[in-house]
Amino acid sequence: MIRYIVRRLLWGVVLLVAVIAITFVLFYLVPNVNPAVLRAGRNSSPKIISEISANLGLNKPVYTQFWVYLKRLVLHFDLGYSYYSGASVKSLMADRLPATLSLTFGAVVIWLAVGIPVGIISAIKRRSVLDRSAMGTALVFVSAPVYWLGLLVLFLFAADIGKFKIPFLHGAGSYVGLTTSPLHWFESLLMPWFVLAATSAAIYARLLRGSLIDVMGEDYIRTARAKGLPEHTVVMKHGVRSAITPLVTVLGLDIAILMGGAVLTETVFDIPGIGRLNYDAITHGDFPIIQGTIVLAAIFIILANIVVDIAYAYLDPRVRYT
Amino acid sequence: MKWRFKRLALAGVTCSLALVVAACGSSSSKTSSSGASSTSSNGLKPALDGSNQTLTGGKKGGTLTVYNHEDFEHLDPGQAYFVIDYEAVYATQRPLYIFPPNDSQHVIPDMASGPPQITNGGKTVTVNIRPNVKFGPPVNRAVTCSDVKYAIERGANPNVGNAYFPAYFAYLQGGSSATGGPIPGIVCTSPTQIVFHLTGPYGTFFVGALSLPLSAAVPKEFVQPLDKQKPTAYGAKYLVATGPYMFKSDSKGVFLGIGYQPGKSATLVRNPNWNASTDPRPAYLNQININIGGDPNVIGRQVLTGSDTVQNDTPADAIVKLAYQNYYNQLVAVPGSGDRYVGLNEQHGPFTNINTRKAFWAALDREAMIKARGGEVVEQLGTHFIYPGSAGYDQAGGASGPNVDYNNSPAGNMSVAAKYMKAAGYPSGKYTGSYVLKVVGSTGDPADKDAAIVNQTLQSLGFKTNFTLVDQSVMYSKYCGVPKQQIDVCPNVGWIRDWYDPQTLLDPTFAGYNIVPTNNSNWGMVSWQDWPKANGGTYTSGPLTPIDQAMKTAETSVGDANRASAWAKVDQMLVGDAVAVPWAFDKQPNIAAKDVNGINDLWNEGSWDYSWMWLKNA
């Protein structure tokens, strides 16, 4: 198993370098804006622009810039400095990561807490009113864009601009850190958590339902019942354990992607997380930040894949580490 | 700028308001004697324009919350060149002169103790500096002439890279070759007197430049070491205030992570060393909390229904509509916030012919373009290039603009267009050549709609087009601002003045001698014959084009009235040559909570002035 993890980690590093290289290439191929021109402003002379280019290292060949970046990243985990604020990308990301972590894990807890029971009940009570209404509701949430849903709940329930104000549902921009005020942190994230979780809960419920229906038709389930096991043991121990493996795959990737930033949710609720940092950087052509957030997302995705693969083997005895 | 273009792009993004306008009445704009559109005619009362705002009698105290959808770009007074930056910079720094919020055409002394003395035929400007104005913590000493001198000199330092130094401070003796060291044209005759020696009679114009943040004093001993870093750490990590407010900082002057968290928030608190008796600004507020980010649709509602808040950048279109309908007194639409025009390439293709340009001007439905941006509540029909609030606007034609037939039909007139197409050599009244026009516009609503109207107009005149939409910054930096790309039509360009002097409006955008190979702002390549060889053109010497010659004459005019007349004449020549097609004079919409006495800087695109506004319930 150790060899397997080491091998996967090494491949992860190769993948990471490839991602960084592709981002670099894309940045230079796509007709984006020269950051030196943006920084220099509208009246600036070619001389000023070229001097700013030199200061930012933009006058060097792409491969040199790439090498310098890679060297700093590997040796010092230095992700560079924002073209605009001049702030260290590493410190900016460290500053934003807690908000994204808070948002992600709260939402994950909610969507698993809602999606898994709903999926199981729908599969067990197939074609019942409960199943149909649950899947109908799920379809609505699957179809609802997060951005729209976010605006909707704010306009309906937020304590400041809501039509039906709920005092503890603070509006957009109310996020505070967990250590500043745990209660306010919790209250400020309630709406974002539910909005972010809504779509995923619906998807997970539908996914688990379909998977569990298939599993419950398998021979070994009939055998378990024939052995006289209680129904809840048959469902939970034999059915769900097997049916849940596709969810684990999706969950790993979902968490990793959200760690790279839930851009829309963070923007609507004005949560200063990684997603909004990335969005702002893209609109400004602030390449060091874009690169930094991509590296972060790639690291999370690679790690999530490894964790998922390990979890797979635990959940499904047919899977072996090779 | 970086970009006031950005503000220009957002200003008047109120397409849904256009639906209100359209629904409330006919689209028939009244036509003046010259034929151009006059004032609002759709049965809608105009939005408040900020002209009657009261500056005195405010209440001291309280905390204002500001919602910024966008982040700051530069907070160093040597770098700031963006309308949102200006709001914070003018509250925390003191240039030699400032404009009071209500007056966009007359400076008043700020760090200076009195009006400038312009002598030597306009070649020398002497300014006395207020004694005993102290820097904020951690410097805590009085400002002297050498601080102002260094503040300006560092603008030429590539590590600072001030954007407007080459345009305005190169008039100083030694300014054009400066790189951050001492400039011979700036002399401190005493700790409280600074003398500027100029290369020509540019004194009247130069005084306007002293209202820009670059003239705000910086403590030399504190800033100079920081300026050695690439780029400077001043304004990125450290800041020292001279104004009534300062960014919350630690004892070393570090404000990054304390009073400013990029992309998250900023906090302005009172500068303990500020002395009200030395400053024309009342500074009523105790603190300004700036929240950065958020969705414009949400923060707009938070402001309209909230307390002690304003939105700093352009509200979303739905919010402007909501404010106009339900919160009328909380909305202002400040005129004189920029102009918009269609750039036509005079160097290549069919628009080298003046009659083709006039034909396009005549055919263009400028009213439709205005409606796409929200209609007359937030836009004014553009009829020439010097826009309201700028010197020379009235002399250049005022609201109706010059009385020429191609300017007299805001909704477009195809018969006038046909007349000019025939004069251009197309007997059918339509273009019959094989040239395919390269048209590059800007993405995003409503810019894309305006670009589409331009494209349709070109096609209605018989042109074949290669129509491309790209991000606005890409449009400027990769296409329209790069002469070698030979873009024929740029539908979404525009400009914002730096102060009331029309030179800041016309010289960067229409002078052939200012054409540069990248970041070019003469998008139509007007007077390309004067494009300097040193910058990639062919001009070395000889007579300038009549327009450039008129600009040079206007540039050396002395006295505000003379300058206004001279630049108005340039404007009329530009219209006469149909160098571009102006179609909008922007109004900047702003919203505030009902309990905020918001004060808008009419000289700065109607932006909020924290040093003058107050809370009604303070």
Pick from B72, B302, B478: CB nearest A160: B302
How many angstroms separate the Cα of A277 from the Cα of each of A272, A281, A303?
7, 6, 22
CA distances from A95 to A74, A98, A277 (A): 21, 7, 10
Q: Is the pLDDT of residue B3 over 70?
A: no
- Quick check: B302 and A173 CB within 8 A? yes
Phi-psi group of B69: left, alpha or beta (phi > 0 → left; psi -120 to 50 → alpha; rest → beta): alpha
Would you state the pLDDT for residue A42? 59
Angstrom distance (rounded) from CA B209 to CA B215:
8
| CA-to-CA separations, B365 to B352, B383, B461, in angstroms, rounded | 22, 12, 13
Closest Cα in chain B, distance from residue A268 (Å): 5
Contacts of B164 in chain A (CB under 8 A): 41, 43-44
**Do the Cβ atoms of B263 and A45 come within 8 Å?**
no
pLDDT at A144: 86
For chain A, give the mean pLDDT: 86
ipTM higher than 0.85? no
Q: Which of A141 and B464 is assigned the larger pLDDT?
A: B464
Tell me which of B584 and B313 has the higher pLDDT: B584
> Between chains, do A86 and B231 touch, taking CB under 8 Å as contact?
yes
- Are B263 and A43 an interchain contact pair (Cβ–Cβ within 8 Å)? no
pLDDT tens for each residue of B389-414: 999 999 999 999 999 999 999 999 99
User: Which residues on neighbouring strands pair with residue B381, listed in sequence order?
Assistant: B584
CA-closest candidate to residue B532, choices B540, B520, B524, B544: B540
Burial of B608 (0-12, 13-18, 19+ CB in 10 A): buried
Mean pLDDT of the region B359-363: 98
* pLDDT on residue B14: 38
Closest B-chain CA to A42? B1
Instruction: Dump the DSSP string for A63-127.
Output: HHHHHHHHHHHHHH----B-TTT--BHHHHHHHHHHHHHHHHHHHHHHHHHHHHHHHHHHHHTTT
In DSSP terms, B342 is beta-bridged to B581
Answer whether A39 touches B (CB < 8 Å): yes
Q: DSSP readout, B263-286? A: TTEEEEEE-TT--GGG-S-----S
Higher pLDDT, B182 or B294: B182
Which residues of chain A does CATH 1.10.3720.10 include? 93-315
Least confident segment among A106-115, A240-249, B503-512: A240-249
> At residue B442, does pLDDT exceed 70?
yes
Distance between CA atoms of residues B180 and B195, nearest Å: 18
Q: Cβ contact (<8 Å) for B298 and A154?
A: yes
Q: What is the mean pLDDT of residues A150-162?
A: 93
What's the pLDDT at A208?
Answer: 93
Structure tokens at A276: 């909004």
3-state secondary structure of B433: coil
What does the pLDDT read at residue A245? Answer: 85
Which positions in chain A touch B511 (Cβ < 8 Å)? none
Both tokens of residue B453?
A: 């109207």
CATH of A93-315 given 3.30.70.2860, 2.30.40.10, 1.10.3720.10, 3.30.300.210: 1.10.3720.10
Half-sphere exposure of B37 (CA within 13 A, CB side): 27
Query: In this complex, which of B297, B473, B517 lies closest to A151 when CB atoms are compared?
Result: B297
Q: Average pLDDT, stretch A183-206? A: 93
Enclosing H/E stretch for A276: helix A274-284
A152 at interface of B, judged by CB pairs closer than 8 A: no
Q: How far is CA A1 from the centre of its chain?
A: 27
* Contact assignment for A42 to B519 by CB distance below 8 Å: yes
CB neighbours of A50 closer than 8 A, spacing ≥ 6? A36, A59
Structure tokens at B385: 């290039």
Domains of chain B and CATH, by start: 4-45+334-587 (3.10.105.10), 63-74+229-333+588-615 (3.40.190.10), 96-227 (3.40.190.10)
Of A243 and B574, more confident:
B574
Note which residues in 40-69 of chain A have CB less than 8 A from chain B. Answer: 40-49, 51-52, 54-56
- For the segment B521-562, what is each residue's pLDDT rounded down to a tens digit? 999 999 999 999 988 899 999 999 999 999 999 999 988 899
Report how far apart, in Å, the C-alpha atoms of B65 and of each of B59, B98, B281, B534 are: 16, 24, 20, 49
Digit-coded pLDDT (tens) for B458-512? 999 999 999 999 988 889 888 999 999 999 999 999 999 999 999 999 999 999 9
In a mutational test of the A interface, the residue from B298, B309, B472, B509 whose CB has the highest number of chain A CBs within 10 Å is B298
Amino acid code (one letter) for A276: R
Q: What are phi and psi of A139, to 5 degrees?
A: -60, -40
pLDDT in tens, A2-16: 787 888 888 888 888
- Residue A86, pLDDT above cutoff 80: no
* B301 vs A41, A161, A277: nearest CB: A161
- Dump pLDDT digits (tens) for B137-160: 999 999 999 999 999 999 999 888
CB proximity list for A136: less than 8 A, separation 6 or greater: none
Amino acid, single-letter form, for residue B84: I
Q: Does A140 touch chain B (CB under 8 A)?
A: no
Q: Nearest Cβ partner of A45 from B166, B230, B301?
A: B166
Q: Which of B231, B236, B256 sits opposite A55 (nearest CB)?
A: B231
| pLDDT computed for residue B20 by the predictor | 36
**A43: pLDDT confidence band, cut at 50, 70 and 90?**
low
Residues 6 or more apart whose Cβ sits within 8 Å of residue B414: B362, B363, B460
- Alpha carbon distances (Å) from A212 to A127, A142, A240, A252: 14, 20, 6, 20
Judge: A173–B299 Cβ closer than 8 Å, yes or no.
yes
CA distance B172 to B189: 16
User: What pLDDT score does B605 carry?
Assistant: 85
For residue B50, name the pLDDT band (cuts at 50, 70, 90): confident
- pLDDT band at residue A35 under the 50/70/90 scheme: confident
B423 vs B103, residue with greater confidence: B423
Judged against a pLDDT cut of 60, whether residue B253 lies above it is answered with yes
Percent of chain B predicted with pLDDT > 70 = 93
pLDDT in tens, B196-216: 999 999 999 999 999 999 999
Position B618 scores a pLDDT of 82
User: What are φ and ψ of residue B574, in 5° steps?
Assistant: -65, -40
Residue B272 clears pLDDT 60, i.e. is over it: yes
What is the mean pLDDT of the segment spanning B308-337? 91
High-pLDDT (> 90) share of chain B, %: 76
**Residue from the list B1, B237, B263 with its beta carbon closest to the beta carbon of A41:** B1
